[in-house]
Every structure is written in structure tokens, then in C-alpha cells.
Chains A and B, each alone.
Chain A
Amino acid sequence: MAQIFGKSSTSFARASLVGGVSGFFGFWGLVYLIYWSPYTTNQYVPREQEVPFSHEHHVAGLGLDCRYCHTSVEKSSFAGIPPTETCMTCHSRVWTDAPMLAPERQSLATSQPLHWKRVNDLPDFVFFNHSIHIQKGIGCSTCHGPVNQMPLTWKAHSLYMRWCLDCHEAPEKQMRPKDQIYNMEWQPPPDQAERGAQLLKDYHVSQQRLTQLRDCSMCHR
């Protein structure tokens, strides 16, 4: 009988066998990478807005406090976005005819709201409360990143549950003294370990509370 297959076919068959198996796992590995990549998370992607609002200018440049616009951040679950009139407190006097502010003026005139694209947006089944984080010494930049360096705002973290848990498992690593909450430059000091332990006491976060931070009911209802 004659050969059915040529000489090379053997090595080819073996190669394809090995290739198939490793390819399968390789594919899922790739998916996993894509899932954590900015492509999916929108991290570091500046969002175009109808008004090109620059946090960099207003915070770093003019030194506005976060609470000037995000008024309810200490009172409510929702930090609040400024109503048009807030912008107009200044912009009725400065840059009164800057074209880039046209939508602002129009909004005030027609009393139609501005449309902002959400940058840090959690799914509807996640219930996040700003006020309690502020209250317990978690600063803005911990989650929102260096907003003062953002000409156009972008998302600084994946906001994946895994990422939330990183902090909920050991909040003391990120806790700050009250006066540092709104400091965009704040970084955990080298001796954060001791400080953190102390801060836990200051903020009345008991051990029981710490374990509780990982309950599903903390964020999901």
C-alpha cells in the first residue's frame, strides 16, 4: 500500500494539535487582558464634553474647592453636578462671550439643562455613597485620581468590583486625615501603616466594621 500522507504531514499534525490546545487557552488569556485594558474600562480616556470643562484650570489654576460645585458630596450619596447658574456666578462676568461657553449661556437662556457624559459611572445595581467615604477619611483623588491634572476629565480607575474590594479589604491603606480629603496631591506617606491604624480609631471604624465592609449588602441591594 502507498503512503496516504507526505513526510511533513506528521510534524504538521503534531504542531496543529499542540497549537490548538495552547491556542484555546491563549484566546481566553487575551480576553482577560482586554477586559482589564482601558479599551473596556475607559480608564485614562479623556471624555469629550459639549462644554470642554477643564478641572485642571479650575482646580489647579484657580484653586476652586471641590465642594464649590459638587455641593452635596458631604451630605448625600450623590456628589452633585453644578447647575448652570453655578457656572454663571463667574461666567456672567468673565469669559462672557467665549464661544466655548455658548452652551452654558444658551442653557441659562432656554433653561434647558447641559448634557454631560458620565465619566465615573457605576452600574445601577451598585449603590455608592459619597458622604460616608468622605466622612471616614477617603479622599476624592483615591478614586477619581489626580483630577487637578485633567484638562478633560477621565476615569482614573477601572471601578471593577475587584478594585473596590482592594480598598474595602484594607481601607486604612487609603485613609487620610480630615484636612487632606480634598487634597488632590495626597499620597499615602511612608508610615501610612501606623497612621492608618491611628486613623481607624479616629474615625471610629471598629474591627467588626472592617469585616462588614466586604458584605455584599454594602453596595448591592
Chain B
Amino acid sequence: MTLEERATLVGFPSEVPTAAEQRTLVGFMAEFEEHEQLLQAARNAFTAGYRRMDGFSPFPIEELAEALGHDYSPVPLITLLGGIAGGLGGYFMEWYSMARLYPINVGGRPHNSWPNFIPVVFELTVLIASLSAFTAMLVLNRLPHLHHPVFNVPQFQRASIDRFFLYIEAADPKFEQKGTWKFLEGLQPLSVAEVWDE
């Protein structure tokens, strides 16, 4: 089907938005049935030079992030720092309160009885580390993110069930309506949709 025919069907691409519409086009989205297809599509898009894009899947796909050219997650580093802080903080708390603030003779044990202090140090290490991991996850994922343009796409509700989407943002330097649309179609998706933000 030619581009013109499609235009008569879905009214697209409309060269100039009419004054009534305040919507802005934020990108195109292609729908796939299997995660391998999505993966392949992502690789192609990357080689095609697209950078500002994202993939959506109902379950994690290990290679996808890499295929989309996303860099490594900083979560582990943050967790490590959190853990160290927790451990040191914990020991400081124990040492300060037991040996400095108000040293008391407890059962003839030394004020700084480090062997007895270990368990709490360990627990605090784990606690703070886990909290920072979780927080990092939220912040890096910009969660909570209740409102998002992609939710406007009707098909997208299956993104959490059994569909896989490739999303190319309009902000991408290489984005160009006709070209990108053609490119996405070229990947034999189930469908291609435009993502509007009103």
C-alpha cells in the first residue's frame, strides 16, 4: 500500500497540524509479536543511526538495553556506597554510644567490645545497601511516572501482556516523519503507531 493510500485511511501523515490540535508528536512506535523480532528491530534501528529510542517488553530481555545502546546501570555502584556508609555508620553509632557518650561497665566487658558489635554492623550494611538499591532503581527509572505519552497508544496496553514495542522519539536527530515511518514499517511490525503528547 502506498503512502498516499494509507494517508486517506488513517489521515496520516498530515503535513501541517491544524490550529485546533495542541498535540505534539513525540515519536513513532512499532509493535512486534516476539521478543526476538524486537531485539532484531532494535539492532537495525541502532545501525540505522537512531539513538533516542526505547523498547517495551512484558518481561526483561537481557540484550535489549545493549541493542538500544543504553549504557550500564549505575545501580550496583550506588548500592556499594550505601552498604559502606551503613556499615561505618553502624559501627560509629555503637562505638560512640557505648564507649564515648556514656561508657558503662556492662558485665565486665570492655566499652568497645567489637566482637559484640559485628552483628549490628552487618545488618545495617545490608539495610542501607538495599534501601539505596531500591531508591536508585526508582530514581533512575523516573518512577513513579503515572502519566506518559506512550499510554495514549491504544495497542500499548498489551505491552505488559504479550506485545513488544520499539519506540523512536521525535527528538531523535535522525527522526524525520516519512523516513522514520518507512523505516519502522520496513521492520515488518504488527503495526506502527504515532505517539502524541497532548
Contact = CB atoms under 8 A, between A and B. Distances in A.
Interface of A: 1-10, 13-14, 17, 165, 214, 216
A110 to B, nearest CB: 50
B104 A9 contact: no
Interface stretch (B16-24, B65-73, B153-161, B178-186): B153-161
Contact of B153 (A1, A8, A165, A214): A1
Given A4-B146, A5-B146, A17-B144, 6 more contacts: A8-B147, A9-B146, A10-B146, A13-B144, A214-B104, A216-B104
Nearest to A6: B147
Contact of A1 (B102, B146, B154): B154
Interface of B: 102, 104, 144-148, 151-154, 156-157
A129 to B, nearest CB: 22
Contacts of A17: 144
Contacts of A4: 146, 151
A7 B145 CA distance: 10
Contacts of A6: 147
18 contacts: A1-B151, A1-B153, A1-B154, A1-B156, A1-B157, A2-B151, A2-B152, A3-B147, A3-B152, A4-B146, A4-B151, A7-B147, A9-B146, A10-B145, A13-B144, A165-B102, A214-B102, A216-B104
A14 B142 CA distance: 9
A13 B146 CA distance: 8
B156 A5 contact: no
A151 to B, nearest CB: 38
Contacts of B151: 1-4
Contacts of A2: 151-152
With a 10 A CB-CB cut-off, give which of B147, B148, B154, B157 has the most chain A CB atoms.
B147
A166 to B, nearest CB: 12
Nearest to B159: A1
Contacts of A5: 146-147
A202 B153 CA distance: 88
Give me the 7 closest cross-chain CB pairs, A-B, nearest first.
Answer: A1-B157, A5-B146, A13-B144, A9-B146, A10-B147, A5-B147, A10-B146
Given A165-B102, A214-B102, A216-B104, A9 B147 contact: yes
B102 A14 contact: no
Nearest to A161: B102
A216 to B, nearest CB: 7
Contacts of B102: 165, 214
Contacts of A7: 147
Contacts of A1: 151-154, 156-157
Contacts of B147: 3, 5-10
Contacts of B157: 1
A159 to B, nearest CB: 18
A127 B146 CA distance: 61
A58 to B, nearest CB: 39
B154 to A, nearest CB: 6
A165 B101 CA distance: 11
Contacts of B153: 1
Contacts of A8: 147
Contacts of A14: 144
A17 B146 CA distance: 13
Contacts of A216: 104
Contacts of A10: 144-148
Nearest to A8: B147
A163 to B, nearest CB: 14
Max chain A C-beta neighbours (<10 A), residue from B145, B146, B151, B152: B146
Nearest to A165: B102
A214 B151 CA distance: 66
Nearest to B149: A3
Nearest to A214: B102
Contacts of A13: 144, 146
